[in-house]
């Protein structure tokens, strides 16, 4: 992957989300993201993706609006690698109190917004054409896949929030966090952007989204 960026700030923000007497620290990694062009490979062919340029304060408002709609329970989900889609003891549960891996967490976020992502592992998600579609320009609530190579097997999955920022759950942090694309690119295990998938299926009417 080749990643070039302009005017990337090193500022970090910490915000508190209060829920009654409880408060959870949520770290937002560098928030000034202006422009990035990512090149990756798909089936042996180069694929260029243009990531939208940031517009400053307006972007933070969009990000805040989306993130603040998430229930407090999602912000406290611990990372547990063994709790993935299809794992024993996971099917049929309505919450993630016992933890989740990156996929299970990302799908829960989308279900909160009435989308219906399939319960697939990363390589299956990347190959899926029934419930999701590959897109070249990401928009909020798209799924973003990262890996150490261009192989989708075992890829890390996050949720695009806005303008190069991704909400995800990983072992390094242990709790949900928002990172910039540059934060993924500088880590060996996430350095390759596999691509972006958009969930096109929505939850049937009458079904409550995942809490």
Among 18-32, 62-76, 129-143, name the one with the lowest average pLDDT.
18-32
Among 69-73, 87-91, 161-165, 170-174, name the one with the lowest average pLDDT.
87-91
Query: What is the number of other CB atoms lying within 10 angstroms of the CB of residue 153?
Result: 12
- Confidence class for position 17, pLDDT limits 50, 70, 90: very low
Quick one: CA torsion of 80, 86, 87, 93, rounded to 10 degrees?
70
Residue 38 has pLDDT above 60, yes or no: no
> Helices (H) and strands (E) in the chain — how many of each?
5, 11
- Confidence class for position 86, pLDDT limits 50, 70, 90: confident
Distances (CA, A) of 71 to 1, 108, 157, 210: 34, 11, 20, 10
Kindly report the pTM of this predicted structure: 0.70
Dist CA 72 CA 40 (whole Å): 35
Report helix, strand or coil for 134.
strand
Dist CA 125 CA 148 (whole Å): 17
* pLDDT, mean of residues 106-115: 95
- Residues with Cβ < 8 Å from 118, sequence gap 6 or more? 124, 125, 128, 130, 131, 132, 201
């Amino acid at each position: 992957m080749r990643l070039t960026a302009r005017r990337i700030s090193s500022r970090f923000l910490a915000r508190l989300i209060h829920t009654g007497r409880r408060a959870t620290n949520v770290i937002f990694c560098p928030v000034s993201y202006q422009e990035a062009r990512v090149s990756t490979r798909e089936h042996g062919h180069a694929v260029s993706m243009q990531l939208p340029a940031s517009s400053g304060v307006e972007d933070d408002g969009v990000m805040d609006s989306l993130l603040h709609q998430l229930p407090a329970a999602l912000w406290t989900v611990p990372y547990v690698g063994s709790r993935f889609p299809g794992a024993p003891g996971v099917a049929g549960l309505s919450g993630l109190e016992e933890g989740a891996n990156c996929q299970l967490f990302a799908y829960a976020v989308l279900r909160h917004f009435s989308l219906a992502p399939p319960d697939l592992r990363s390589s299956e998600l990347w190959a899926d054409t029934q419930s999701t579609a590959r897109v070249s320009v990401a928009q909020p609530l798209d799924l973003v896949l990262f890996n150490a190579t261009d192989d989708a097997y075992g890829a890390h999955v996050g949720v695009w929030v806005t303008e190069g920022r991704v909400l995800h759950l990983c072992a390094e942090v242990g709790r949900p966090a928002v990172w910039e694309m540059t934060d993924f690119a500088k880590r060996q295990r996430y350095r390759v952007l596999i691509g972006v998938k958009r969930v096109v299926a929505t939850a049937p009417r009458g079904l409550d989204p995942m809490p």
